[in-house]
Each structure stands twice: as C-alpha cells, then as structure tokens.
Amino acid sequence: MLEKVKRFNWIMFAAMLALVAVGTVAIWSAGNARDQRFHGMWISNLQAAAFGLVLYLSLAFTDYRRFLELLAWPLYAGALAMLVAVLFVGDTVYGGCRWLWFFQPSEVSKLCVIALVASLLGGGDEWFCRLRPTFRGFLVSALLVGAPCALILAEPDLGTTLTLAPAILVMMFAGGVWRRGLALMVAAGALTVMAVLCAVYEAEKPGVPAERREAILRYTPLKEHQVKRVRVFLFPDDDPQGSGYNLRQAKIAIGSGGFTGKGIGKGMTNHLKYLPPAVSLNDFIFCVYAEETGYVGSLVLLALFLALLLPCCWIAFKSRDGRGRLLALGMSSLVFAHVYVNIAMSIGLLPITGLPLPFVSSGRTFLVTVMCGLGLVQSVSLHRGLEE
Amino acid sequence: MKRGEPQESDIVSGAVCWATAALFLLGFTVLAVKLKEVQVTDSAAYGYANARQSVRRVQTCGARGRILDRNGEVLAENRPSLSIVCYPESFQKKTWDETINGIVGSAALVGEAIGRAPDCSEAAIRRHVRESLALPLVAFRDVGERELAVFSEREREFPGFEVRETDERVYPKGALAAHLLGYVGRDRGEAIAGDEKFNFFMPEMRGRAGLEVYYNSFLRGVGGERKILVDARGFAIREWTVVESRKGPDLELAIDARLQAVVERELSGLKGACVVMDPRNGEVLAMASAPGFNPNDFVPVLRPGLYERYAKDPSEPLLNRASGGAYAPGSTFKPITALAGLSSGFSPSETYDCDGVFELGLMRLHCSSRWGHGPVDMRHALMKSCNPYFCSLAMSVGTNAVMSAARAFGLGSKTGLDLGVDMAGVVPDSGWKSSMYHERWYQGDLAQMSIGQGMLLVSPLQMARVAGALGTGMLATPRLKKGLSPELRPIPFSKAQLAVVRSGMRMVVAGDGSSRGTGWRAGEGVAAEVCGKTGTAEIGRGATRRKNTWFIAYAPAASPTIAVAMVVENGESGGGTTAPKVGAVLKAVFGESGRTGPDADGG
C-alpha cells in the first residue's frame, strides 16, 4: 500500500481538484444568471464531483490490468447496449437524443471505448497480438471503435464523436496498428474536412445564387444547421443577430473580460443573458469564466489543464506497459480534445459544436466519467513496476 | 506481488508519450495566443460592443425656466405633475405578445380602480415595447388627487406600476398675455438607433407658440444623462444618473403684468390689439390681442377638439393681432404724411381751405367734417384730422416723399421684435402695386395712402413704434425680453419739423384752446401731457363696411416714456371708441390727475 501511495501522482490529483473548484465557481456564476432552478446547480455538480472522487480513488487503487482484463469487454458491450437503448427510449434534449434516465450513455461510452482499445492494442488479448500490425488488425480495431462512434453519431452527437476520434487515433498510432492504413485514414479525413470547408465557402460566399448554393451543398454530408455553423465559422461577422449571435456573444464575453476580468460573479454578458443561457452552463461555460477572470484566468485554466495532462504523459512514459501507456495517452488525449475544441470554438478557431469543457461545464455524467478515466490513469501510476 | 525493474514495453514506444505531450503543449500555445488576441489586443473593441449592447443612454431634460414679468411676477412656471408609470420589465413573459397583453391588461385594471381610461393605447404600448423597452411607460398622465389616493391605497395590487413626478407647464395668470407667452407641447420621446450618443431622448417640453417658441432654447434646461443597464431582451435591470440635468434660466420680460391686465381689461369683449412700449429703449410693457385664449388649455396636452374650436372661431382668438394683425392705419398715418411734407419744404403754416371733400378726377374723398373744416394749417389739420388737407399735401410733395417717410418709421418691414409673430405689413408703391394688381400707380392711390387708407397695412406694434418715434425722434426696436441692449435708429427729420407734428398731436388731445381735438378723451384725467392721433380706417363697402378705430399716443409730451397704439375692430371712431381706452391705459401708467384736462372746457 505504501508503495502505491509513494507513486501517487499528486500534481495530477491536485490539478484535478483545482479544476473542480474552478468549475464550481463558473457553474455558480452561470447558474445565477439563469432562473431559480439553476441557482443550486453548483451544489449538485459538487456532489457529482464527490461521487467521482470516490470512484477515482477506488479505481486508482485497483490494478488497472485486472480492471481491463475483467471489465474491458463487458463495459464495451454494455456501452453498445446503452447506445442502442438510448436511440429508442432516450429523452430528447435540444434536438439530440442523448439521455438515458439520469445519464448520457455517449459520455460513458467514451471511457469504455478507450478502455477496450487500451486493453486490445496494449497486449491484453493474446489473439490480437499477431493481427495488430496487419490490415486485418486495423480492420478489426476500426470496426470495434467504429460501432459505438456510429451509434453516437446517430443520436446525433457529432461533438462527442469528434473528440473521441483523436483520442482513438493517438492510441491506435501509439499501439502500432497498421500505420499505412492509419495515415491513409487521417489523410482522407483531413481531405474530407478541407473539401467540405471549401464547398461551404463556395456556396455561402456573398453573391452566390440560391440554386448554385443548393447544388454545391447537396454534395456535402452536412445538415442545414451544420452548414450554418460552418458558415458562421467562415464568415463570423455576417449575421451577428442571427446564426452568428452565439459566437459573437461568446467573443464579446471573453474579449470584454480583458486582462484581469470583471470579477467573479460580475460577468455582464452572462448575467444579462446576452450569452445564451441555454448553453452558458455547458458548451459556453468558458465564456462565463473568461469574462469574469480575464486573460489571467484563461492562462491559469490552461496551466491547470497542462498540470493535469502532462503528468498523464509522464505516467505513460514511466509505465512501460502497453496497456498502461495507451490508457494514459488515450484518456489525456480525450480530455485534451475536449478542452481544445471547446475553447477554440468559443473564440472562433473552430466551428461551434456542443461539447463540454471537462470539470468546468456542468454535466454530471461527463464529470464522473472523466474522473473515472483519470482514476485509471492514476492506477497506471500507482501500479508501475508492480507485478500483477 | 514482487518488485522488479519494469520492462520497456515492446508495443508502445516512449517517444510517443513525448510526442503526445508536445501535441498538448502546441495546442494550448495556439489557444493562449488566440486568447491573447481576443482578451488583450482586441479587448477594448469587445468591451465597447459589450457596453453598446447592454447599456442604454438616455438624455434627460432639465426643468424649463420660468417666464417672469419686469417685476418678477410669474407668468409661466412648472408645476409638479404625478403620473402613474408602468415598468415593462415587471411584465416579462416568454413572448412579446404575452408581455404586451400583460401590460395592456394590468393598465386596464389600474384604470378600472382609479376610474379612468389609460392614456396609452395598445398600439402605443406595442411601440413602447419595441422602441423604448428600457424606459418606464406613462400609463396615466397627470393624475388627480382622488385618483392618486385610490391608487396609493391599492398600489400593492398593481405590481409594476408606480407614481412618478414630472413637470408640467402652468400659466398662473391664465389668459393674461396668452399671445405673448404662447404655450408648450411635449415632444414624443425619441428612440435613436445606431451609434449616436444617446439611445433615448426623454420627452421634453417644447415651445409651440409665442415666447415659448422664440426663447425655447433659452428656457429649456440643460439635459442630463442617465444610463440603463438592459438584459439581452432589452428589459431594464438598473439605472443610474451620469450627468444631472440642470434647470433652464428664467426669462425676464419687459412686460408689466399689471399694465398688461389693464390693457386686456380695456380690450375685453372686443376684437383688437394694443401695444404699450417705452420708446426710449423699445421695451414692450404690454402687448395684448383680443379675443384671447387660455394657454392652460394647451398643457400638458391639448384636449381633443379644442384646437379646432379655436382655429375655426371666426374671431381668430389664436391670432396675435398686436404684432401679426394687418390693419390700415387710417388717420394715425397723418403725422407721417405731415413730416413727408415738411421735409419736402412744405410750410406748416400754409393753410388749406377744407370744404369737406377732396376731389381728384372722379374720386371724392370725404372729410371727417361733413361741411369742411374751413381753412386749416398743419397743426389744426392734425388736430381735426382733416382728410383733404393731407391729400392735397401729398399731391404736392409726391409719392416718393410719403413712401420714404413711411419706411423711415419702420413701416413695411419687420420690427425686429423678439417673437415669431412680426408682420412686416405693406407700404405700397408703384412696383408693389403693379406686381400685385397689374395696375399702375395712380395719384388716387397716393391720396388714399396719405390718410392711411388704401393698400397701406400696418400692425399695432408698428404704430406703437411710430408713436414713440414721433415723441423721441428715435425709432426703437421693440423688445419683449428685459435687459436686451436697446436698438435705436434716428428718424431723418429735423427738430423743427418734429416740433410741428408734436404740437399738432398735442392739440389732438389737448385742443387748441378754443376747441377740442379729436382725441381729447385720451388725455382726460391722465396725470401727464398726452400727445396722440386718432384714426378711423374704413374697410369694405356697403353691407360689409366697417371701421377699425385707432389711437396712437405718447406721453409725457416733453420727454416721452410711454408710447401706445391701440386698434379696435368695428369701432365707431378713433376718438370715440379707442381714445378713452388709451386714456385708461395711460392713467394706469401715470396716475389720474385731479382735473379733467386743461382744455376740457374748451370748444
């Protein structure tokens, strides 16, 4: 036990607690701007964090290798089942069918997929070891990852898929899956994104007749609301009162925060509801935070995330075990993707998409999921060099 | 469990871990750089955008200055007026229609409670919500004491409604000097879109007539600035004052309210006008027009139908006859004709044998004395207002001399009065006549003009100036505001010439020792030597024939301090109708003398 405690990564742990604290304040402020029901949001979020902390510590002191051996496949199967179930019996919120009773299966499934991929590629399954560098191995792992992704896309929840994809890619690359295939896939993906962006640009640039616009957009896989988001991304100043409203208000909130911010609880854009209250607690929580704490606060937040993520890389490096390394890299990549996409979309670096900012956004399922995942990473740290 | 050196994984190389860490660092660096651009470099622009969208800037108006007479008597001031206003933010609903319906419904309830219909229609509420949401909406303007009592008692039943105090204009002396003072209206509050300094202008009192218009920018207060913080839908969150508004200065008039009341009393029930001024500096002491109106009927809002009633009234109560009425001056013009003669070398002692009519070709101009005055010199011609004398005088000196004398007295041009209503009148000449009537100028026109008839048109104000100028030799620009620097212009006649006319005008009132002058009633009982001239201008022919009766005067004769001109429409004669009224005015100025005039027993 003492051995384990010695290997406990305190930096990562402290960074996580600090992020929970930051999140609590941000949720308190964003909740206060909304009606009575949301004023206590920060408390329930803190309760979820406490629950997550228990799971975190339990998982940290459990040997991740045993965890993966026992639970990787059952969790994966369970996640698939829930994702199927949510399509039929889930509750629809804001146009996406994401809720199953009290939680969002897509959030939980992120962890399950990462666990499975870590177990599979890290050498947990004997039968896969020989397949790994071959095309068939690539195919198998792509199918295993693709199934839940397809189900999440069907909800539809593009954002979750988009953040899961880079994490899986990092893991597959690190795990030595048929690299030529991976490279092709990445290249194809990049080309598709470029092509779609160019198509939307061509279709939406000023002076394009409606028929031509229709003709171009028919060849893109985007739905109308997605086209709108991409258009806002490409032409952010075109329609500040309409489709560009959210982005404009997000930028006003962040920008007007200035260097030192307006003070906790004093974000005008948030409290006067210019920042759409429907998204200020979740997808746009960074705006609330950045308005109140300014550039200093933004840097502190980025530093805290680095303090959380870099130890993960360190743990992966020190682990020398395939599964441990993949788990740590996968989890940290997942968190990184969320942080990057969430902040980047708020300042117009990426098109707007609905994604929570880990620890800061309200969202209990995701919070608990991320804490569990980081608990597993902590477990990798604790069990470094120990035989099973 | 057994301790052992960990084996390097053969599957995942350590370099990947470093690469991932590098990726994280790179990503966060990109974010940090972009965030610096947004939060530091462009922060001011976003802060400005933030302030623009969430703060409404309101220009408040300062209290309007009062209008005082020369002795500090209040002629126009502001009274506190209580309104019941409604705060739209208390009626926030999901949709605008629900919000508007909520306000309409609640306003109706309040109206039911206090027993009067709201002053805001649904359309007005809709417009207010669309344009001025952040401001309170005046639901009941200027509520009475009883209504207020009911409302205050039940105020808790009507959340979102509140009593607010505003200013309203009031004219404490009612109809007194109404044409001078005018009245105010209130602008509609303006909502300004775009990048202006203010989003809203509070409805400000604005002069609509009279001095309230002319001195509007003088009287109006200095606007203040309030800011209202609004939420994303535009509802007010809180407001604060940035710059306090300041009260406008009081306007002190040269008018003497007491004298004004005397003048108006003399004119009451008649149609006519009177101007009393100080010829030494042009200060207008009284200026009245009858019939009049009560400016309090026009504030705070003109009652529907009232304006039409005033406007359609054939006696034209809204017309300021004193400076805007165009009348033929009649015989009050004769002193000017006399001066025209004198300056052309006509001898004042030359006599003319008046036989009661002046004949020129086919035209016959009758004299006031049916059988003629017999031989008269200039002084007696003035005293007796002998028409043929002045006709023949004009014939001998010509049109130009009369014309330039009339212009020298400021006729035919604006007086420069500090009031919007300032009629120039008409001094006809051949050019004017040919352009108006396509007819040439006949000698008959000159004959008519010499006795103040025909096409000549003047205002009572102009004639008051003339009276003053005759007395002092200086033509004064009339001033309503006290303390303006006087503007005096000498008239181009010698002392000797003026002396002749003055003694003639003195004789009009005082007689020549053997008989009364036509205007003797103007001097009766006045404790000053009055000089004057009567006038009876005939207008129309046959059934519509009527007479406008004039009297102009100045006093005291030696060094005039008062000049008066009065016209009464449809009077009998200048001497009979108007002179006694002018006398009453002069008595009010100079006091009454014990005796009835030095020459009252004469003639």
Residue partners of B208: CB distance under 8 A and separation at least 6: B182, B183, B184, B185, B298
The number of helices, as runs of H, and strands, as runs of E, in chain A is 17, 2
What residue of B is the nearest CA neighbor of A295? B39
- CA atoms within 13 Å, Cβ hemisphere of B297: 14
Crossing angle of helices A285-319/A245-257, nearest 10°? 80
Residue partners of A347: CB distance under 8 A and separation at least 6: A250, A251, A254, B31, B34, B35, B38
Q: Mutating which of A177, A252, A387 best tests the B interface, going by the most B Cβ atoms within 10 A?
A: A252
**What is the token pair recorded at A39?**
């004023």
Contacting residues of B for A256, CB less than 8 Å apart: 43, 46-47, 49-50
Q: Mutating which of A128, A241, A317, A338 best tests the B interface, going by the most B Cβ atoms within 10 A?
A: A317
- CA atoms within 13 Å, Cβ hemisphere of B206: 9
d(CA B181, CA B179): 6
Contacting residues of A for B32, CB less than 8 Å apart: 298-299, 302
CB of A12 within 8 Å of a chain B CB? The answer is no
Q: Indicate whether B460 pLDDT > 90.
A: yes
Residue B16: per-residue pLDDT: 86
Cβ(A263)–Cβ(A292) below 8 Å:
yes
Question: How many C-beta atoms surround the C-beta of residue B357 within 10 A?
Answer: 15
CB of A386 within 8 Å of a chain B CB? The answer is yes
| pLDDT band for position B406 (cuts 50, 70, 90) | very high
Helix (H, G, I), strand (E, B) or coil at B416: coil
Q: Decide if B24 and A268 are in contact by the 8 Å CB cutoff.
A: no
- Select the more confidently predicted residue: B289 or B595: B289
CB of A317 within 8 Å of a chain B CB? The answer is yes
Question: How many C-beta atoms surround the C-beta of residue B359 within 10 A?
Answer: 12
Residue A134 located in a structural domain: yes
Q: Indicate whether B541 pLDDT > 80.
A: no
Residue A360 located in a structural domain: yes
To 5 degrees, how large is the angle CA B462–CA B468–CA B470? 105
Nearest Cα neighbor of A251 from B273, B6, B437, B45 is: B45
Nearest Cα neighbor of B279 from B536, B473, B417 is: B473
| Residue A311 CB-density burial (10 A; 0-12 exposed, 13-18 middle, 19+ buried) | buried
| Nearest-neighbour CA in chain A from B236: distance (Å) | 10
Average confidence (pLDDT) over B226-255: 89
Cβ(B40)–Cβ(B223) below 8 Å:
no
Look up residue A335 and give its amino acid: V
Question: Domains in chain B, ordered, with CATH?
Answer: 56-252 (3.90.1310.10), 257-306+323-590 (3.40.710.10)
* B205 backbone φψ class: left, alpha, beta (φ>0; ψ -120 to 50): beta
**Count of domains for chain A:** 1
- Select the more confidently predicted residue: B6 or A169: A169
Nearest to A306 among B24, B30, B233 (CB): B24
d(CA A122, CA A128): 10
Residue A273 located in a structural domain: yes
Residue A353: per-residue pLDDT: 82
**What is the token pair recorded at B52?**
């623009």
DSSP 8-state symbol, B574: I
Contacting residues of A for B20, CB less than 8 Å apart: 170, 174, 313, 316, 329, 332-333
| pLDDT band for position B326 (cuts 50, 70, 90) | very high
Nearest Cα neighbor of B569 from B326, B333, B384, B335 is: B326
Average confidence (pLDDT) over B194-199: 71
Q: Indicate whether B25 pLDDT > 80.
A: yes
CB of B39 within 8 Å of a chain A CB? The answer is yes
Nearest Cα neighbor of B16 from A343, A317, A250 is: A317
d(CA B284, CA B276): 6
CB of B34 within 8 Å of a chain A CB? The answer is yes
Residue B597: per-residue pLDDT: 43
Residue B441: per-residue pLDDT: 84
| pLDDT band for position B189 (cuts 50, 70, 90) | low
Residue A214: per-residue pLDDT: 81
Nearest Cα neighbor of B531 from B569, B586, B595 is: B586
d(CA A27, CA A43): 9
> Max Cα separation, chain A?
71
Q: Indicate whether B371 pLDDT > 90.
A: no
- B556 upstream amide cis, omega within 30 of 0: yes
Residue A388 located in a structural domain: no
Please state, in angstroms and as integers, the Cα–Cα distance from residue B122 to each residue in A141, B102, B105, B126, B319, following that order. 67, 11, 10, 6, 37
Q: Indicate whether B449 pLDDT > 60.
A: yes
Cβ(B300)–Cβ(B187) below 8 Å:
no
Residue B311: per-residue pLDDT: 86
**What is the token pair recorded at B377?**
């010199």
d(CA B84, CA B69): 34
CB of B52 within 8 Å of a chain A CB? The answer is no
CB of A135 within 8 Å of a chain B CB? The answer is no
Residue A44 located in a structural domain: yes
- Calculate the CA A364 to chain-centre distance: 14
Q: Decide if A298 and B32 are in contact by the 8 Å CB cutoff.
A: yes
Q: Decide if B12 and A272 are in contact by the 8 Å CB cutoff.
A: no
Residue partners of B541: CB distance under 8 A and separation at least 6: none
Beta-bridged to residue B229, according to DSSP, are B55, B238
| pLDDT band for position B601 (cuts 50, 70, 90) | very low
Domain around A76: 2-382
Residue A387 located in a structural domain: no
Average confidence (pLDDT) over B169-196: 83
d(CA B413, CA B344): 23
Residue partners of A146: CB distance under 8 A and separation at least 6: none
User: How much of chain B is in helix, strand and coil states, percent to nearest 5?
Assistant: 40, 25, 40
| Nearest-neighbour CA in chain B from A240: distance (Å) | 12
Beta-bridged to residue B380, according to DSSP, are none
Cβ(A347)–Cβ(A254) below 8 Å:
yes
Contacting residues of B for A325, CB less than 8 Å apart: 9, 11-12, 16-17
d(CA B532, CA B332): 8
Question: Which residue in the block uniquely carries the two structure tokens 């009348």?
Answer: B327
For residue range B553-591, what is the model confidence (pLDDT) as tens digits?
A: 999 999 999 999 999 999 988 889 999 999 999 999 999
**What is the token pair recorded at B514?**
């053997």
Number of A to B CB contacts under 8 A, please give it.
165
Query: pLDDT above 90 covers what percent of chain B?
Result: 52
Q: Indicate whether B202 pLDDT > 90.
A: no
List, as ranges, residues 191-230 from B with C-beta within 8 Å of A: 229-230
- Calculate the CA B431 to chain-centre distance: 33
For residue range B32-69, what is the model confidence (pLDDT) as tens digits?
A: 999 999 999 998 999 888 888 888 888 888 899 999 99
- Calculate the CA B328 to chain-centre distance: 24
CB of A268 within 8 Å of a chain B CB? The answer is yes
- A156 upstream amide cis, omega within 30 of 0: yes
Residue A306 located in a structural domain: yes
Q: Indicate whether B10 pLDDT > 70.
A: no
pLDDT in tens, chain A (388 residues): 777 888 889 999 999 999 999 999 999 988 888 777 888 889 999 999 999 999 999 999 999 988 988 998 999 999 999 888 888 876 666 555 566 666 788 888 889 999 998 888 887 677 777 777 778 888 888 888 888 888 888 777 777 888 888 888 888 888 877 778 888 888 998 898 888 888 888 888 877 888 888 888 887 777 777 888 888 888 877 777 777 888 888 999 999 988 998 888 888 888 788 888 778 888 899 999 999 999 999 999 999 999 999 999 999 988 878 888 899 999 999 999 999 999 999 998 988 888 889 999 988 888 999 999 999 999 999 988 766 5
Helix (H, G, I), strand (E, B) or coil at A361: coil
| Nearest-neighbour CA in chain B from A248: distance (Å) | 9
Q: Decide if A175 and B231 are in contact by the 8 Å CB cutoff.
A: no
Residue A124: per-residue pLDDT: 66
CB of B49 within 8 Å of a chain A CB? The answer is yes
Residue B366: per-residue pLDDT: 84
Nearest to B35 among A295, A328, A386 (CB): A295
B382: phi then psi, degrees, rounded to nearest 5: -70, -50
pTM above 0.80, yes or no: no
Contacting residues of A for B53, CB less than 8 Å apart: 252, 274
- CA atoms within 13 Å, Cβ hemisphere of A24: 14
| Nearest-neighbour CA in chain A from B159: distance (Å) | 20
